[in-house]
Structure 1
Amino acid sequence: MLVSKPHALIAALLLCAPFAQAQQAPVPAQAAHSLPAGRIPQLQGEIAIDGKLDDAAWQGALVQEIAYDIQPGDNTPAPVKTTVRVGYTPDALYLAFHALDPDPSAIRAHLRDRDAMFSDDWVGVFLDTFNDNRRGYELIVNPLGVQADLIRDETNTENQEDESWDGLWSSAGQITAEGYDVEIRIPFSTLRFPHTADDQRWGISLFRNWPRDKRHQLTSHKVPRESNCFQCEWGKYDGFAGAQQGRNLEIVPTLTMSKVQTRDAAGEKWQDGDSSIEPGVDVSWTPSPAMTLNATLNPDFSQVETDELQLDINNSFALFYQEKRPFFLEGADYFTTPFSVLYTRQIADPDFGLRITGRSGGSAYGAFVARDATTQLLVPGVQGSGFEHLEQKADVVVGRYRYDISNDFSLGAIGTFRKGDDYANNLAGVDGRWRKGGHTVTAQLLHSQSEYPDDIAEIYADELGSDPSPAGNAWRTAYNFSNRNWNIDAWHEDIDPGFRADLGFIGMVGYDKSLVGGQRMWYRDGKSFERISLYADWDITHRFDGRLLERELEAQVGVNGPMQSFMRLHGMTRVAYWNGRMFDEHYADINANFRPNGNWQLGAYVQAGTLIDRDADKTGHRTMIELYGNASIGRGIATDWDIIRQQMKRDGGTAFTATVANIGGSWQFNPRQRLRLTLQGSSVKRDLSLYPDPVEERARDWAAQMVYSYKINPRTALYAGASYGAFMDDDHPDMFGSTRSVFLKLSYGWQP
């Protein structure tokens, strides 16, 4: 029997919020004298954010210095001097950076889109507003005032920094004869923090990136190399009494217009496809500094720029693409767990969405509901997966709760629920994390129950059976030890054949896998090659019936050197099961990249070895070459490229040759205006005589997209663009244009 209680889970999450908030105790004001970092004062007077540090109010600020080089140095004195002034008013946090440089002409600064200037010189502030070493904000600015902001999640070992969050804050910068200056204003309405009228204690790191021959990372505090928690090392500051968040309401109406035309063969007339004018509205309300409510009606869930093209050849599992839609990106870190049980691109075409996220005391919680106009499934298997669609609407409910019992121990729960006309998938589970010193242990247990139409249940019947009501468990436990010189990993995961996470990205089920591995690091401070690492691991995978699927041993050595260079030599050998047989596979590869100056990055990846050609059930000698990099021309023009070519030789011939290219360029006229051009293409050619079963002999496609954007801030923006695509295959031997479209997107952020 299928049981679903999503509403009970949401109610439990909402009830936890006020209880947790009641446990929050303010920081005693008398504790400030024991803090080495100091107290942040309230400023008196006005400050204009113009990059000029001449406002009188700065004289009352706390003065700090970014004094330590933590990479590549080992808490050595910073090679350049940076002073920072910090203060606040009742509605905002203010910072002023005075960054000196012995050679201002060497400063790396470019006009870029938001979150795209990490290779430049920059300064920033990292904020742990709950002082719990769990979740933090990173706000950084380059010398021209270009912004980037990220959410830091210390509990997520796979992706600790998420740049999808976009806060509303202001900054300005200017290059001077001594270096550069930056001013920052962060409204308290942009941040989440405990609700109290008294002093608060925040963890704060003041940071400077100084990229020259090496990329120097400079901080206001020491960071021991043996530490496996960067956020735990941030300085502790008192202050912010009386901080106010204002009315905390934002309304963002949107309007999206598009026109699409298609044709099925060369020479045919273009046929009008989808043409739409879609209004929508997003509402964000923060009833307390620690809680946010979001609602969206007829949302624009389109993404402005195309996904990076991937080569889907000799691969049996579905490809993963990053989420780019704003509603799902904001607060995404609240739903992170060891298993990928929430992949929001599975919610393909929602009519509406409601979400709550918040933190208070030891609690962090998030939940959302949505109505999806279609139902997209990632149908998993033991040795392959693929996407399928059901022509029916679906209701979606997701809830996540985590409680930090102490600084070292936390427990959490998650549930994902989706239901259509003759379809349902319900998943619930618990997880935990313990960390002490260099030791970290994580674990998660999940259970799912599902109902599918018969045609979906039959897709992987040979591997998993055709049960229309599968149910099963998934569990994972992992141990990590990390210190200055060592990093040790050991983990095991087990997923039943009947387990399904239809709102997640788990493409393989019906197996168990174990891994043990370790890395040794050597630091050579002051040398050209300042870091050397050696890594190796061994893993083994079995099918649910005990059949060996894979046994693998791999090792690699990596070196960090001059010109911000990195080189890695890697090798792998394994036995792998495919289509009823065991195969031996082995390969070696080398990956290297470097920055010859501040305007270029060049990289190459080369791989060669014996691998399975899955369409022929044979092994062959495969080579792969990838060339990638980026270049800057002047302040505002940038190009980037990634070109991959694969070739498989066997049985005296070339079984296939495949190429994929992603090439782009942008012209940033000023911090608000940008023109972006993207070109993508792929080509596959096979020798039909080397395949026992019919395969496609030739396929080519290419696409181009141009987008102009004018962004006053992340909420108020205009996008206008056009795209064109062409392809050929065995049924269409001539290359011809098959799709073309234009679109216009407008949004306006209004705060009443």
Structure 2
Amino acid sequence: MAARPVPTLIAIALASALSAQAAKADQAAPTATADYIPGGRIPQLQGEISIDGVLDDAAWEGALVQEIAYDIQPGDNTPAPVKTTVRIGYTTDALYLSFQALDPDPSAIRAHLRDRDSAFNDDWVGVFLDTFNDQRRGYELIVNPLGVQADLINDATTGNEDASWDGLWSSAGKLTEEGYNVEMRIPFSTLRFRNNPGDKRWGISLFRNYPRDKRHQLTSHKVPRKSNCFLCEWTKYDGMAGAQQGRNIEVVPTLTMGKSQLRNAAGQPWQSGDSSIEPGVDVSWAPSPAMTLNATLNPDFSQVETDQLQLDVNNSFALFYQEKRPFFLEGADYFTSQFDVLYTRQIADPDFGLRTTGRTTNGAYGAIIARDATTLLLVPGVLGSRFEQLDQDANVAVGRYRHDINKNASIGVIGTFRQGDDYANNVVGMDARWQKDAHTAKAQFLHSQSEYPMRIVNAYANELGNDDTPSGDAWRMEYSFGNRNWSFNTWHMDIDPGFRADLGFMGQVGYEKSLIGGGYSWFLDGKSFNRINLRADFDVTHRFDGQLLERELEGSIGTQGPMQSSLSLHGMARKRFWRGQLFDERYADINTNFRPNAKLQLGLYLNAGTMLDLAAEKTGKRTMVEFWGNANIGRGVATDWSLVHQEMRRDGGTAFETMVLNAGSSWQFTPRQRLRLTLQGSQVERNPALYAFPVNEKARDWAAQMVYSYKVNPRTAVYAGGSYGAFMDDDNPDMFGNTRSLFVKLSYGWQP
């Protein structure tokens, strides 16, 4: 499936015609001088504040006043093109912020009713909080002009922003004749921080997203382009003496009810399938400001919305699907490491789960214990992997600890353990990270020991080597450099054939790989195309016995331009080993996207070249085209789509042709109410004459889902929906395996 990002050649043509008109949106006069210095002491507010988006409460007069003064992208700490005034204060139980976001053309403000964590393309303002002031992990709380919320965790050790965290806080937005206002109330019980007496010192960034012809990122402080740590640049603020976090106990009972039906072929009567009524309960308790305990009994770990459809065609490795279950998503960043040793979808059907996460004076830790009613395995190999399931219970334990030696260096340990009747997999390891200025170095070492039932050993003799107790090591070392213009990275990894991380997603073992690469970026401030990136890298992969598996050289050039567009040209040439032979592969691709107006985004991915047909063990001319986009209709209706077509031509004909559609539409009635319709479909056609063994000539798969949701907050919600799906291939010309189902899911967040 194609990677998302980058613009269309159409975007470049349109840019020249529309650049003069689009530039008007970016011509507001700067409002802040280059010598503006943020910071100060956050005062305690006197009086009540109503969170309604109207900035008329008298208590705001005693707040600390700040400005979002700098344009850090595409500007280079230049004065912000629009004025944003922020007021900050607190009471003993909450932090309060107000934003007055002025705009020279209020009609151009992008504001839509959306589900939580879905309004990132709109105008929005936000506050980012490093509550431990250690430049490791921060909260990001964002609100659009209609009051729609988003919240994320910024993990500086990985550079990732994780939107799975959902805090309980209140907000309101209001469009005005001069722009828009936002008010926020963030209870201290939602945040974790050191509850020391007296004033606290936090790192804080005030942020405004201003998307017009270009997407302007505006902050209250300067961020040098050479900086590799955005969180490290946040301004230090004092205050909040006497802040109280409350009892920090939350109980969330859940009830899930479902009914399914199926039939063997179209036109036959429906037969009743499973019916279920599953109660459960989740409990969260923070015994100290730096520690959180979570417990769940008979949890409903079903996900509300379906996974995006992927096709397992011309691919030898198991497909990866994102985790969507709330219990595992929250606090997931505590368990990340350089190797993917924890992939929580491997904990498929737990009867109960316990989790703790927290911070120490010089580190962070996390642990998970669960009892899984099934045992899901990802059986890896040198050239492929697949999932298997053992019909047995398993006990699961995961532990992770990171110790910060100083502000530049940290070391960590991680362990994953799973035990069944005649099955076991244990992984332990340690890692280290060092970062200073433009330099970053990382390393990790792991060791695994496993035991598998003979059914798995016999089925995967090539992968397991007839060994029912495989063991092995995995290690990786990496160095990277990055400043304003230059980037460089190199790494080496080595994974033994017997290494297994069954709770993770490591689908390839028995190989070693090295990479070296670098790039250069040109910044063209004030130009239509404001950035150009050039990059190349070279990598080599060998099997454990020295056999060359892959030797690859690739390069790319990309640019960012008008209408929030981006364009990337990429090329690759490689030698690839498959079933005893080396094959030559080479292709070029173009990846592009742009926004012709505030309501529409379009993207296109084109890939063409000589590729290997894995099933036939022959190369051919492969082409792939993906057209994707999203559109807003009014304030509350949104649509999104992705259509992918792939074709392999060889030996005078078309060996296979595939089509995949993922499309959806949502109607957000209010910030709390939403109706979502999802359509998915795929078609695969093969030419039997071009294969030396029997293949299905045609197969089709399609499904539809509708879900209604009403969310009082992330913990208190009602979901109701239904789904329908069917499959057909050439051996069964009528639709068969038809299924349909209905479900209702209720949850209630109670804080005693």
TM-score norm. by structure 2 comes to: 0.95
Please give the residue correspondences for 1:38-77 in structure 2 after superposition, counting only pairs within 5 Å: 38-77=40-79
Partner residue of 1:401?
Answer: 401
Partner residue of 1:313?
Answer: 313
Q: Secondary structure at the match of 1:458?
A: helix
Q: 1:151 aligns with which of 147, 150, 153?
A: 153
Q: Which runs of 5+ in 2 are unaligned?
A: 1-36
Q: 1:105 aligns with which of 107, 113, 118?
A: 107
Q: 2:83 aligns with which of 81, 84, 89?
A: 81
- Partner amino acid, structure 2, of 1:473: D
Give the distance between the partners of 2:344 and 2:523, measured in 1 at CA: 41
Partner residue of 2:643?
Answer: 643
Partner residue of 1:126?
Answer: 128
Matched, 1:658 2:662: no
Matched, 1:687 2:699: no
Give the distance between the partners of 1:471 and 1:273, measured in 2 at CA: 42
Q: Secondary structure at the match of 2:459?
A: coil
- Partner amino acid, structure 2, of 1:570: H
Q: Deviations over 1:626-678 (max 9, x none)?
A: 00010000000000001100000000000000010000000000000000000
Give the distance between the partners of 1:693 and 1:440, measured in 2 at CA: 51
Q: Deviations over 1:77-128 (max 9, x none)?
A: 0000000000011110000000000000000000000000000000000000
Please give the residue correspondences for 1:251-650 in structure 2 after superposition, counting only pairs within 5 Å: 251-650=251-650
Give the distance between the partners of 1:108 and 1:459, measured in 2 at CA: 56
Give the distance between the partners of 1:450 and 1:249, measured in 2 at CA: 39
Give the distance between the partners of 1:267 and 1:50, measured in 2 at CA: 55
CA contact (8 A) 2:457 2:464 kept: no
Q: Deviations over 1:299-328 (max 9, x none)?
A: 010000000001210000000000000000
Deviates more, 1:525-534 or 1:262-271: 262-271
Q: Secondary structure at the match of 1:47?
A: coil
Give the distance between the partners of 1:330 and 1:710, measured in 2 at CA: 21
CA contact (8 A) 2:721 2:743 kept: yes
Deviation at 1:464, TM superposition (A): 4.6
Give the distance between the partners of 1:371 and 1:393, measured in 2 at CA: 7
- Partner amino acid, structure 2, of 1:371: R
Give the distance between the partners of 1:451 and 1:730, measured in 2 at CA: 40
Give the distance between the partners of 2:698 and 2:67, measured in 1 at CA: 61
Partner residue of 2:28?
Answer: none
Please give the residue correspondences for 1:138-217 in structure 2 after superposition, counting only pairs within 5 Å: 138-157=140-159, 160-217=160-217
Deviation at 1:463, TM superposition (A): 4.6
- Partner amino acid, structure 1, of 2:749: G
Give the distance between the partners of 1:462 and 1:105, measured in 2 at CA: 64
Deviation at 1:134, TM superposition (A): 0.6
CA contact (8 A) 2:228 2:483 kept: yes
CA contact (8 A) 1:601 1:629 kept: yes
CA contact (8 A) 1:143 1:180 kept: yes
Give the distance between the partners of 2:290 and 2:301, measured in 1 at CA: 26
Deviation at 1:730, TM superposition (A): 2.9
Q: Deviations over 1:577-609 (max 9, x none)?
A: 001100000000001100111110000000000
Q: Deviations over 1:474-503 (max 9, x none)?
A: 000100101000111100000000000000
Partner residue of 1:718?
Answer: 718
- Partner amino acid, structure 1, of 2:390: L
Give the distance between the partners of 2:617 and 2:481, measured in 1 at CA: 40
CA contact (8 A) 1:258 1:744 kept: yes
Partner residue of 2:248?
Answer: 248
CA contact (8 A) 2:265 2:735 kept: no
Q: Secondary structure at the match of 1:309?
A: coil
Give the distance between the partners of 1:190 and 1:462, measured in 2 at CA: 51
Extract structure 1 runs of 4+ deviating beyond 3 A.
none
Q: Deviations over 1:169-219 (max 9, x none)?
A: 000000000000000000001001012122111000000000000000000
Give the distance between the partners of 1:697 and 1:201, measured in 2 at CA: 66
CA contact (8 A) 2:531 2:561 kept: yes
Partner residue of 2:14?
Answer: none
Deviation at 1:460, TM superposition (A): 3.3
Deviates more, 1:463-472 or 1:430-439: 463-472
CA contact (8 A) 1:608 1:622 kept: yes
Give the distance between the partners of 2:736 and 2:677, measured in 1 at CA: 21
Task: Please report the RMSD computed on the Cα atoms of aligned residues, expressed in angstroms.
Answer: 0.9
CA contact (8 A) 1:381 1:460 kept: no
Partner residue of 2:117?
Answer: 115
CA contact (8 A) 2:128 2:205 kept: yes
- Partner amino acid, structure 1, of 2:81: P
Q: Secondary structure at the match of 2:237?
A: strand
CA contact (8 A) 1:351 1:370 kept: yes
CA contact (8 A) 1:86 1:96 kept: yes
- Partner amino acid, structure 2, of 1:602: L
Deviation at 1:508, TM superposition (A): 0.2
Q: Deviations over 1:343-396 (max 9, x none)?
A: 000000000000110012112000010000000000000000000000000000
Q: Percent same amino acid among aligned pairs?
A: 75
Give the distance between the partners of 1:107 and 1:524, measured in 2 at CA: 26
Count of aligned residue pairs for this structure pair: 716
Partner residue of 1:742?
Answer: 742
Q: Deviations over 1:65-86 (max 9, x none)?
A: 0000000000000000000000
- Partner amino acid, structure 1, of 2:675: L
Deviates more, 1:186-195 or 1:452-461: 452-461
Deviates more, 1:713-722 or 1:259-268: 259-268
CA contact (8 A) 2:38 2:66 kept: no
- Partner amino acid, structure 2, of 1:309: L
Against the structure 1 CA distance between its residues 463 and 703, is the aligned structure 2 distance closer, same or farther, given a 3 Å change threshold?
Answer: same
Partner residue of 2:706?
Answer: 706
Q: 1:135 aligns with which of 134, 137, 153?
A: 137
CA contact (8 A) 1:265 1:732 kept: no
- Partner amino acid, structure 2, of 1:367: A
CA contact (8 A) 1:197 1:243 kept: no
CA contact (8 A) 1:194 1:360 kept: no
Q: Secondary structure at the match of 1:315?
A: coil
Give the distance between the partners of 1:702 and 1:720, measured in 2 at CA: 21
CA contact (8 A) 1:521 1:534 kept: yes
Deviation at 1:696, TM superposition (A): 1.9
Deviation at 1:262, TM superposition (A): 1.5
CA contact (8 A) 2:464 2:470 kept: no
CA contact (8 A) 1:369 1:397 kept: yes
Give the distance between the partners of 2:195 and 2:59, measured in 1 at CA: 27
Partner residue of 2:39?
Answer: 37
Give the distance between the partners of 2:50 and 2:212, measured in 1 at CA: 31
Give the distance between the partners of 1:702 and 1:198, measured in 2 at CA: 61
- Partner amino acid, structure 2, of 1:556: S
Deviation at 1:154, TM superposition (A): 0.7
Deviation at 1:264, TM superposition (A): 2.3
Deviation at 1:438, TM superposition (A): 0.3
